Amino acid sequence: MDEATRKELTAWLEFYEELGIEGFYRRKPGTAGPAQATPVGVEPRISAAPQAPPAVTVTAKPTSPDFGVRTPDTRRDLRPPAPTFSLFEAAPAPRSGPETLEQIREDLGDCRRCKLAPGRKTIVFGEGNPHAEVVFIGEGPGADEDEQGLPFVGRAGKLLNRMMEAVGLKREDVYICNVVKCRPPGNRTPEKDEVDACSPFLYRQIESIKPRLVCCLGAPAVRTVLGIKEGITKIRGQFYNFGAAKALATVHPAYVLRNPREEKILHEDFEKIRDFLKNP
């Protein structure tokens, strides 16, 4: 490291130390994520998010005594590279071996990492089989979910249940979660800083479950998980490589509630999920 960089880094470290922030880790550039999200069997035609520069991530609340300068471990890493420097982004848990969902939930704690915290009633962590073959990812909890602490239990959830039943999937066999775990006010789309704060926990959940398929419900999930900014109607129904797994994007059930004639496309994509899961 050259002298100028060393000085600048020291100044930043002192600055954050004054803020009471002590835990740092350096994310290895080029880990799997948006830049590697390519349609299966097709030349990449969508420009996925550009490769992020090495990101230094700061955590405001170290949760473990050995929380020092770290690089991500060597387990299969599905997390996209951090797109920006984030004050609130949580570091991966400093544990060896696969994490359980319980451990991740414990790390999340009574989360105050973003501005959604004061408005929420309940953290909606996720629900389902910890070894599910398929993980569904929505946008964020609505009023019913905030009340009950469970994902997709309102009207959009009923439609999701119906879509799953139609292709022989049982809710208890899959895992369901969201890009953000706290309800955005008025059910607005989660903002970037909120997604940046919450998504590391989502990536850790996916890593823990190790599903064969990740199904992104709607644009925020597609952006967060695959780093694809293209409109959902253009990219839906396609499989993407996603680490050792595959990912499929489809429309959000709430979109179908607003546009009932589009139910057939959601159903069509769920049939693709069924066919995918049939093949070992």
From candidates 99, 127, 133, 139, binder to ligand URA by CB under 6 A: 139
Is residue 146 near ligand URA by the rule CB under 6 A?
Answer: no
User: By the 8 A CB rule, do 7 and 35 touch?
Assistant: no
From candidates 89, 145, 196, 269, binder to ligand URA by CB under 6 A: 145
Cα dist. 22→7, 17, 92, 104, 276 in Å? 18, 6, 15, 20, 45
From candidates 142, 190, 211, 243, binder to ligand URA by CB under 6 A: 142
Phi-psi region of 187 (alpha: psi -120 to 50; beta: other; left: phi over 0): left
Helix (H, G, I), strand (E, B) or coil at 217: strand
Task: Provide the edge-to-edge strand list for the sheet that holds 213-217.
Answer: 127-128, 175-178, 134-138, 213-217, 245-250, 239-242
From candidates 91, 156, 202, 232, binder to ligand URA by CB under 6 A: 156
Of 112 and 188, which CB lies nearer to ligand URA in the complex structure?
A: 188
Is residue 128 near ligand URA by the rule CB under 6 A?
Answer: no
User: CA 240, CA 229: separation in Å to the nearest integer?
Assistant: 14
From candidates 81, 83, 128, 141, binder to ligand URA by CB under 6 A: 141
Show the binding pattern over residues 215-254: x = contacts ligand URA (CB under 6 A), - = does not. Answer: ---------------------------------------x
Q: Are strands 213-217 and 134-138 parallel, antiparallel or unpaired?
A: parallel
Is residue 127 near ligand URA by the rule CB under 6 A?
Answer: no
Would you tell me which residues interact with ligand URA (CB under 6 A)? 138-142, 145, 151-152, 154, 156-157, 178, 254
